[in-house]
Amino acid sequence: MVNAINDALDIKLAEDKSVIVYGEDVGVEGGVFRVTEGLQQKYGASRVFDSPLAESGIVGTAVGMAVAGLRPVVEMQFCGFIYPAFNQIISHASRMRNRSRGKFETPMVIRMPYGGGINALEHHSESMETIFGHIPGLKVVVPSTPHDAKGMLIAAIESNDTILFMEPKRIYRAIKQEVDEGKFTIPLGKANILTQGTDVTVVAYGAMVREVQKAMVMAKEAGISVELIDLRSIYPIDRETISKSVKKTGRIITVTEGPRTYGVGSEISQIAIEEAFLNLEAPPSRVSGFDVIVPLPKGEHHFIQDPYKIFYEIERIVKY
């Protein structure tokens, strides 16, 4: 996925002079995950560069650049370090068009590795997509494969909206996949049905997709047919795809990494009951983190979703 993202940036930098890439250590070093590796050499230090260590500064200046016609793509070094930029995101990046009644736009992308499972220090493993998904005017997307990462990032850079592009760092280098060369886009806001099934719909995104797939092996053994939806977009939510699927299966489970209460799961459940109440054969359910702070590595296995946990819930809901 790292290569796919790098590729997307490369393509857009080559194609559009208004694209600017910056953030902490993204220039000379090419980012702590090497996502921007080689881009400064290729496009020069006025287009790909290191910023001072200040997240509000990074996002706030990007708002200014975007208003002035550039297309900044900025990096937050880790999910836990986006919060100093929170005010700029919620008060400006997501509001400028609405505030100025369409006179100014902020076409910008905030890239951020997120999620657990990499034995990292505190604040390096959070999955707090809900709080961003709840911000009006912002779009929040998450790819689950290298292919999607490339197509979605290109679409994000070309969008005139402000996009929070969350990268599941756990699978940065985990998934081997041939990615189409050259430019292509994947429309933002559309979920992707990865596996058709009949007994239960499972909604996941990012690194959780792979975990669900592992659980599906167990489910298959148990004779359960799972329909797997990669949500891809935390906001806006692709209501239609969810609706159709749950009407068909009558059961739905959402698998997420973040804290349970006010997590993405309850919103998907709400959609299911709004759309398919009379079709439901079991309560829409969720597998999620607990309402706790992500434990440090030695305790993280208690927090992250293992395939057994997912299968456990699939079985429970199907037997309901």
Ligand X SMILES: Cc1ncc(C[n+]2csc(CCOP(=O)(O)OP(=O)(O)O)c2C)c(N)n1
Please give the positions annotated as active site: 124
DSSP string, 164-215: EEEEEGGGTTT-------S-----TT--EEEE--SSEEEEE-TTHHHHHHHH
Q: Which of 97, 169, 251, 286 binds other proteins (CB under 8 A)?
A: 97
The interface region with other proteins, picked from 46-54, 140-148, 206-214, 247-255 by CB under 8 A, is: 46-54
The interface region with ligand X, picked from 4-12, 14-22, 41-49, 77-85 by CB under 6 A, is: 77-85
Q: Which of 48, 264, 287, 318 binds a second copy (CB under 8 A)?
A: 264
What is the helix (H) or strand (E) element at residue 317, kind and residue range? Answer: helix 307-319
From the number of C-beta atoms within 10 Å of its C-beta (0-12, 13-18, 19+), residue 69 rates as exposed
SS3 227: strand
Binding mask 216-245 for a second copy (x = CB under 8 A): -------------------xxx--------
Nearest residue to 165 (alpha-carbon basis) of 181, 180, 151, 182:
151
Binding mask 43-62 for a second copy (x = CB under 8 A): -------------x------
86 touching ligand X, by CB under 6 A: no
Residue with smaller CB distance to ligand X, 77 or 159: 77
In whole angstroms, what is the distance from residue 104 CA to residue 43 CA? 27
Strands 285-287, 252-255: pairing is parallel
Residue with smaller CB distance to ligand X, 122 or 291: 122
Is residue 193 within 8 Å of 229, Cβ to Cβ?
Answer: yes
In whole angstroms, what is the distance from residue 210 CA to residue 131 CA? 24
Interface residue list for ligand X (CB under 6 A): 24, 53, 55, 77, 81, 84
Interface residue list for a second copy (CB under 8 A): 56, 80, 83-84, 86-87, 90-91, 94-95, 98-99, 122-123, 128, 130-131, 133-137, 235-237, 258-259, 261-267, 269-270, 273-274, 277, 282-286, 291-293
